[in-house]
Structure 1
Amino acid sequence: MSAIRKRINSTGRKRIPRDRISVTRLPVKPDEPLRAVATVRLRDRQELGAYLVQLLEPLGPVKLSADRSLWTWLALYWFDPICPPLAGGRKPDKSYRYVLSTDYRHYYRHLVRSPWQLVRDHGDNAKFLLLPPQDQPYPLRRHGEILEQLGGRQSALRSQPLIAEANRLYASRLTGRPRKGVSDNGRGSVRRLALVLRQIDLTFDVERMGMDN
Structure 2
Amino acid sequence: MHLRQFNKAGVEAFRRFLEACRENPKEPVPVDLLESHEHTVLTSKQIVVEPREFSSRRQAADYFQDLLSPIPPDAVRKDAGIWTWLSLFYFDQICPTGNGNRKVRNDYTYIYMPDESRYFYRHLLFIAWQVKQVAPECNRLFLDSSLVTLDKLTTEVFKRLYLTRIPCLFELLDRLYWDCSNNRPAKGIVSPHKISAGDLVHRFPTRIRQLEKTYDLQSLDADQLLEILGDEFRQRAATSQSQMELSMQ
Report the TM-score, using the length of structure 2 for normalisation: 0.71
Aligned equivalents of 1:19, 1:154: Cα separation in 2? 37
Question: 2:139 aligns to what?
Answer: 126
CA displacement, residues 44-98 of structure 1 (integer Å, 9 cap, x when unaligned): 0011111111111121201211100001011111111211222372222211111
CA displacement, residues 156-180 of structure 1 (integer Å, 9 cap, x when unaligned): 1233301110011112347863123
Are residues 206 and 14 of structure 1, via their aligned partners in 2, closer, same or farther at CA, if it must alter by over 3 Å?
A: farther
Residue identity (%): 25
Question: 2:17 aligns to what?
Answer: 7
Q: Does 1:28 align with 2:29?
A: no
Aligned residue type for 1:170: Y
Contact 1:75 1:112 in 2 (8 A): yes
- Number of aligned residue pairs: give it: 204
Are residues 45 and 205 of structure 1, via their aligned partners in 2, closer, same or farther at CA, if it must alter by over 3 Å?
A: farther
Alignment of 1:183-194 (within 5 A): 183-184=190-191, 185=194, 186-191=196-201, 192-194=203-205
Are residues 202 and 114 of structure 1, via their aligned partners in 2, closer, same or farther at CA, if it must alter by over 3 Å?
A: farther
Secondary structure at the counterpart of residue 100 of structure 1: coil
| Alignment counterpart, residue 86 of structure 2, candidates 74, 83, 101 | 74
Secondary structure at the counterpart of residue 104 of structure 2: coil
Aligned CA RMSD, in angstroms, stands at: 2.6
Q: Does 1:103 align with 2:113?
A: no
Task: Point out the structure with the larger strand share.
Answer: 2
**Which runs of 5 or more residues in structure 1 are unaligned?**
133-138
Report the TM-score, using the length of structure 1 for normalisation: 0.82
Larger Rg: 2
Contact 2:177 2:186 in 1 (8 A): yes
Question: 1:53 aligns to what?
Answer: 65
Aligned equivalents of 2:217, 2:161: Cα separation in 1? 10
